[in-house]
Amino acid sequence: MPKISSDTLWELAAAEVHSRESGGAEDRDGGEAVNERTVLLMGSKAGGKTSILLRCLDRDELSKPTLALEYTFGRRARGHNTPKDIAHLWELGGGTSLSDLVQIPITPVTISCLSVILVLDLSKPNALWGTMEKLLQAAQAHLERTSSQVQKSKPGVKHQTPSHSAARVLPKDYPDRELISPFPVPLLIIGSKYDIFQEFDSDKKKVVSKTLRFIAHYYAASLVVRMFLMLLQHISVILFFLFFFSVIRKTVSSDPLKPLIIPAGSDSFGQIGSPPTVDVDITSLHAKNPKDLWKKVYERVFPPESTNEQRELKDPAKDPQYSEPQIDAMRAQKDQELEQYKRNAAKSWKGLELET
């Protein structure tokens, strides 16, 4: 058997990477290109991301707390004897505390076929804006850095840049084209725990619903706010679009006192209206731009959590949702022993200093 040199292996690896970057991945049997998508699911801590993902993949599994960043995949056949499209699914756990991990699924190879799903817990409106803002900023910043890296890549390499733009979502004559700031890749915003949210005061529900509509339209995103079972029925169409570029049905429901479903490009600032003024004097807010105005109005109604309350644990080992009683008890015992050892060592050093 002939020996394969390391140079040959490196050449094969380089050719494989180049083939993927050039969109040349083909099914070996039929020669037909395989469509691969990458989806990043992020959002509120314990907001129902895993449950939504499992149900949409038709997996009858018990959802467990997501540890940091977890990966799974889904496949769908286009037809008989055709290659299956593949969706690489990444779920970011920990709310906003692990937002730096978005750099793992967002790479020069995946950026051209990436979609983002943001799940916001409606039962905790005081944390909603902060969660949305931090996660979208983290993802957008890394998307822009990655896109810049791709643009600076070697000449001759086909650039993999985000293809999502206002042109894909809004018609050329749309009145809000110059006012929105489309997210670099397709974005779906999901409002979870509607069963709790629907019991809120009607004025507060209007504030949350209209704010979500503004944010979704500002980023040219799709918005779905539904009861869990209804949510699965309605978002499946949008999820298949995000996963496999399927066609979205333009079903629209925008009543702020009812569940929402608004595909990207189906809303407008005119239809959304001005921020709901619930005991708020807009003229006194001194906002820098429309988005800042909506933020100030929202946070007047739902003050953000205090710094101490919203400080999330950076160490997952100290997070209650990952508790292991026996291991944690042993760890606590060892920590006590370590502290006792440090105190004894300090006393020994002090004794030596006195003797000298």
pLDDT digits (tens, 9 = 90+) for 200-220: 998 899 999 999 999 999 999
What average pLDDT is seen over the chain?
77
What is the rounded CA–CA span in Å between residue 296 and residue 316? Answer: 32
What is the rounded CA–CA span in Å between residue 149 and residue 132? Answer: 26
pLDDT recorded at residue 137: 95
Does the structure show a pLDDT above 60 at 195?
Answer: yes
pTM higher than the cut 0.85:
no
What is the average per-residue pLDDT within 2-9? 46
What is the average per-residue pLDDT within 84-90? 84
What is the rounded CA–CA span in Å between residue 111 and residue 40? Answer: 11
Residue position matching structure tokens 């804006």: 129
pLDDT recorded at residue 116: 93
Residue 289 CA neighbour count, 13 Å, CB half: 6
Higher-pLDDT residue of 351 and 219 is 219
* Class of the domain covering 15-309: alpha beta
Cβ–Cβ < 8 Å for 115, 186: yes
* Angle at the Cα of 193 from the Cα atoms of 75 and 299, rounded to 5 degrees: 115
Higher-pLDDT residue of 177 and 196 is 196
Cβ–Cβ < 8 Å for 169, 184: no
Classify each residue of 44-60 as buried b or exposed e, where b means 16 or more C-beta atoms within 10 Å of its C-beta.
Answer: bbbbbbbbbbbbbbeee
**pLDDT band at residue 302, thresholds of 50, 70 and 90?**
very high
Does the structure show a pLDDT above 60 at 106?
Answer: yes
Higher-pLDDT residue of 284 and 106 is 106
Does the structure show a pLDDT above 50 at 244?
Answer: no
Residue position matching structure tokens 């050892």: 341
Please give the structure tokens belonging to residue 324.
């292991």
What is the rounded CA–CA span in Å between residue 99 and residue 167? Answer: 29
pLDDT recorded at residue 25: 45
- Residues 6 or more apart in contact with residue 215 via CB below 8 angstroms: 132, 189, 221, 294
Please give the structure tokens belonging to residue 128.
């909603």
What is the rounded CA–CA span in Å between residue 319 and residue 313? Answer: 6
* Angle at the Cα of 220 from the Cα atoms of 267 and 258, rounded to 5 degrees: 45
pLDDT recorded at residue 229: 56
What is the rounded CA–CA span in Å between residue 260 and residue 242? Answer: 19
Burial (0-12, 13-18, 19+ Cβ within 10 Å), 127? buried
Does the structure show a pLDDT above 80 at 230?
Answer: no
pLDDT in tens, 304-345: 976 444 455 556 666 666 678 888 888 888 888 888 888 888
Residue position matching structure tokens 């890749």: 185
pLDDT recorded at residue 241: 52
pLDDT recorded at residue 311: 53
